[in-house]
Amino acid sequence: MIGVMGAGAFGTALAVSLARLGEVVALWAHDADHVAEMNAARENAKRLPGVALADNIRPTADIPDAGPLILAVPMQRLRGVLETHADALKGRLLIAACKGIDLATHLGPVETIAQVIPGAQPAILTGPSFAADIARGLPTALTLACGDAVLGERLQQALTTPNIRIYRTTDTHGAELGGALKNVIAIAAGAAIGKGMGDSARAALMTRGFAEIRRLAQARGAQPETLMGLSGFGDLVLTCTSDLSRNYRFGLALGRGEAFDSDTTVEGVATARAVTEWAGELGIDMPICSAVAALCAGKFSVAEALQSLLSRPLKEE
């Protein structure tokens, strides 16, 4: 049995793909009404409409007491979920599927699990993938990062499905930071396109944004190869160039001066703030992330954010 905690779009899509292996997949949601709705309709109409839940997917409000658990809740909720259910989670194999940095602690998902759950064996599954693509059975490739190489190999085998090919690494810092920071750069890319600045501006933001990601992640001990891989470069490309990305669409709306649905999960907003605070403490220069944080907080207009970037002193690449 595999458990997925968090019945949002991504948790549900992973459950749908894992169920194709024939195993029972428990899909845990914190809201009992939502569980009842999913059981009645055999669909997660709230977050992943139009995708049937196979018979071996079990929506439930009870955390399964055996097997690995994938944590697919929004990053700013992860710590609370772990603290609330610490007794049920202690000593378990916990695989984060969320992308972001916790605002209160400036920790990523793997570090958060390790800090909150005694004896947990934390890992992260991340990389370029939209829930809708995974649920439709389209091919995707992800990174599984686990500090324990033997466990990582076991998880790689267990979580590979007919449409998810998994590469593994032991570099959890690189995997979690690449996935978190690409969302911030995607907001910048969306804002540039929304404001009519053009594809050249987007390419500049992606490239210089990637330099910021590398700078911060390597200061945390991440390996350059991880950042060049699926969880870093790969996800940056997807998220900055596709209208399916919520972070990119949020940026587009900012650029166009349009409203954006506040019920939509946009991980890059809190992460921009967290990373700006954190980089400041470490003395690391993150101008694009800082501009996005100011933009999201309403302290800058898109034009002012651009001006703040263009007016910086000229430097070597």
Ligand X SMILES: O=P(O)(O)OC[C@H](O)CO
Binding-site residue positions for NAD(+): 6-11, 131, 246
Among 21, 60, 63, 77, indicate the residue that binds ligand NAD (CB under 6 A). Answer: 77
Q: Looking at 7-15, 58-66, 216-224, 306-314, which segment touches ligand NAD (CB under 6 A)? A: 7-15
**Residue 209 token pair:** 């944004």
Q: Minimum distance between the CB of residue 311 and ligand NAD, rounded to whole angstroms?
A: 32
Closer residue to ligand NAD (CB): 98 or 236: 98
- 81 vs 107: CA distance, rounded Å: 15
Convert residues 183-222 into a mask of x (bound to ligand X by CB under 6 A) and - (unbound): x--x------------------------------------
Q: Is 46 a known active-site residue?
A: no
Annotated binding site: 6-11, 30, 99, 127, 129, 131, 182, 235, 245-247, 267
Return the one option of ligand X, ligand NAD, none that residue 238 interacts with (CB less than 5 to 8 A, by type).
Answer: ligand X
Among 2, 3, 4, 10, indicate the residue that binds ligand NAD (CB under 6 A). Answer: 10
Q: Minimum distance between the CB of residue 283 and ligand X, rounded to whole angstroms?
A: 29
Closer residue to ligand X (CB): 35 or 159: 159
- 257 vs 162: CA distance, rounded Å: 42
Distances (CA, A) of 207 to 15, 112, 159, 202, 288: 34, 29, 32, 9, 11
Q: Minimum distance between the CB of residue 65 and ligand X, rounded to whole angstroms?
A: 30
Q: Are 15 and 27 in contact (CB under 8 A)?
A: yes
Q: Are 97 and 72 in contact (CB under 8 A)?
A: yes
Nearest residue to ligand NAD, by Cβ distance, number only: 8
Q: Are 222 and 173 in contact (CB under 8 A)?
A: yes
Q: Minimum distance between the CB of residue 197 and ligand NAD, rounded to whole angstroms?
A: 25
Q: Which of residues 98-127 bind ligand NAD (CB under 6 A)?
A: 98-100
Residue 246 interacting with ligand X (CB under 6 A) = yes
Distances (CA, A) of 67 to 21, 53, 145, 171, 300: 15, 20, 18, 23, 47
Closer residue to ligand NAD (CB): 97 or 116: 97
Q: Give the sheet arrangement for strand 69-71, strand by strand.
A: 57-60, 25-28, 2-5, 69-71, 93-96, 121-126, 140-146, 164-169
Among 41, 61, 62, 80, indicate the residue that binds ligand NAD (CB under 6 A). Answer: 80
**Phi then psi for 119, rounded to 5 degrees?**
75, 10
- 213 vs 125: CA distance, rounded Å: 18
Annotated binding site for substrate: 99, 246-247
CA dihedral 225, 244, 39, 127 (to 10 degrees): 0
Q: Are 206 and 265 in contact (CB under 8 A)?
A: no
Give me the catalytic one of 182, 195, 299, 315: 182
Convert residues 252-281 into a mask of x (bound to ligand X by CB under 6 A) and - (unbound): ---------------x--------------
204-214 in b/e form (b: 16+ CB < 10 A) is bbbeebbebbb
Q: Which of residues 93-152 bind ligand X (CB under 6 A)?
A: 99, 128-130
Closer residue to ligand NAD (CB): 239 or 302: 239
Q: Looking at 163-171, 231-239, 280-288, 296-304, which segment touches ligand X (CB under 6 A)? A: 231-239
Q: What is the DSSP letter of 313?
A: P
- Alpha-helix residue ranges (DSSP H) falling in 130-198: 131-135, 149-159, 172-194
Q: Which residues bind ligand NAD (CB under 6 A)?
A: 6-11, 30-31, 47, 72-75, 77, 80-81, 97-100, 129-131, 265, 267
Instruction: Give me the active site residues, please.
Output: 182
